[in-house]
Amino acid sequence: MKAKGKLKILLGYAAGVGKTYRMLEEAHQRKLNGCDVVVGYFEPHGRKDTIAKLEGLELIPRKHIEYRGHEFEEMDTDAILARAPQVCAVDEFPHTNVPGSERAKRWEDVILLLDSSIDVLTTMNIQHLESLNDQVRDISGIQVRETIPDWVVKQADELVLIDIPPQALLNRLQRGVVYGTDKAQQAMANFFKEPTLAALRELALRQTAHEVDARHAEAPVTADRERRERILLHITESPSTAGLIRRGRRVSDYLKADCFAVSVIAPGSHSPAALDEHLDFARKLHIETRVLEGEDAAQTLVDFARRNAVTQIFLTRPPRKAFSIQSKNHEVMKVVRLAHEMQVTVVADRR
């Protein structure tokens, strides 16, 4: 049985920090070292220095897909598999493939390459990490739609931060290195503001440091340690639940804790569509899900928590008008009262 390919992610905090350039530099270096290297997908964005770096590397032609009367180009994963290189460089890891493609996301194509024993070099920005979606929206005012589940990024054998100071990036933008003049001016008026870039850079630095700690300075995992922290996320129909799931996923990763996403429905009833959607989202983030039946949601939830040695419960904060700290009968307050031996965190909607 062939060994799985190795994944190296070059992580940045914004377009223009140099991820693609560094990816192609490494592709050249590996070729000089005798590796069979191809470029599976490359997005030039009109950047002359980056385009020049492609010279001397084999580029796999893109696949043409027709959708709604228009022709689109995507990475030709089948052609890469047929070519079977040792190393493949793939730009824009979080990209969503056009409808009609065999796989919905480029990261799914990359996993297929890895499963076929091909090493992959790829690029992404921190704002595309799923668990940070709410924080990125707060920082930038923009809801990022193309995200990668944290478990995919955690599969990387190497995560390397490509970093430059925000002022240097803005200087590149003003000189037309990142985008053309019109697009650069528009970018600086919106996403590319120095405070936004500084905050995103901080997120990228923290994430990289966390990954380094997790991979190289982790204490031995023992049975006692595994039982020490277990997190339960209460899944409801509330729109705030998606943010709760992201928060819980991130906390459980930092604590190296087990994580459950649990909903409670009335006996004999069916899960509402919104509830099923949130449970499905939790599964995509590799969180174990359970649907419990019970007349008293708070009691059912806390009973489950005790049976499963849960140490922390995360709940969504109800709308202000519906929530009062004096309301002992409110579901949230009932959970707080019943789960007296556990830590209960009420997560507000970040919006």
pLDDT tens for the chain, 351 residues: list them.
679 999 999 999 999 999 999 999 999 999 999 999 999 999 888 888 889 999 999 999 999 999 999 999 999 999 999 999 999 999 999 999 999 999 999 999 999 999 999 999 999 999 999 999 999 999 988 889 999 999 999 999 999 999 999 999 999 888 888 888 778 888 887 888 899 999 999 999 988 888 877 665 554 544 444 457 899 999 999 999 999 999 999 999 888 899 999 999 999 888 899 999 999 999 999 999 999 999 999 999 999 999 999 999 999 987 665 555 555 557 888 998 999 889 999 987 655
CA distance 87 to 96: 22
On whether residue 2 sits in a domain, the answer given is no
pLDDT given at position 321: 57
- The residues facing 348 across adjacent strands are none
> Among residues 198, 216, 234, which one ends one of the domains?
216
In terms of domains, do 254 and 192 share one?
no
Q: Is residue 1, in this structure, part of any structural domain at all?
A: no
Count up the domains in the chain and report the number. 2
Domain boundary among 216, 236, 268: 216
Residue among 230, 325, 232, 210 at smallest CA distance from 282: 232
Handedness of CA 88, 89, 92, 93 (dihedral sign): positive
- Asked if residue 208 and residue 233 are part of one domain, the reply reads no
Q: Looking at the structure, do residues 252 and 198 belong to the same domain, yes or no? A: no
Burial class, 344, CB count within 10 angstroms (exposed 0-12 / middle 13-18 / buried 19+): buried
- Interatomic CA distance for residues 293 and 302, integer angstroms: 13
Do 181 and 228 lie in one domain? The reply is no
Last residue of a domain, one of 216, 239, 258: 216
Residues 22 and 161 in one domain: yes
Q: What are phi and psi of 182, to 5 degrees?
A: -65, -45
**Residues 41 and 71 occupy one common structural domain:** yes
Q: Which two tokens stand for residue 253?
A: 């990763």
Looking at the structure, do residues 162 and 257 belong to the same domain, yes or no? no
- One domain for residues 46 and 121: yes
| pTM greater than the 0.95 cutoff | no
Q: Give the per-residue pLDDT at 226.
A: 46
Residues 116 and 211 grouped into a single domain: yes
* Alpha carbon separation from 318 to 3, 218, 248, 257, 262 (Å, rounded): 49, 37, 17, 26, 17
CATH value at residue 290: 3.40.50.620
CATH number at residue 104: 3.40.50.300
Q: Do 46 and 23 fall within a single domain?
A: yes
Q: Based on the fold, state whether residues 200 and 244 are members of the same structural domain.
A: no
State the CB neighbour count (10 A cutoff) for residue 115.
12
SS3 content of the chain, % helix, strand, coil (to 5): 45, 20, 35
- Residue ranges making up the domain that contains 261: 223-347
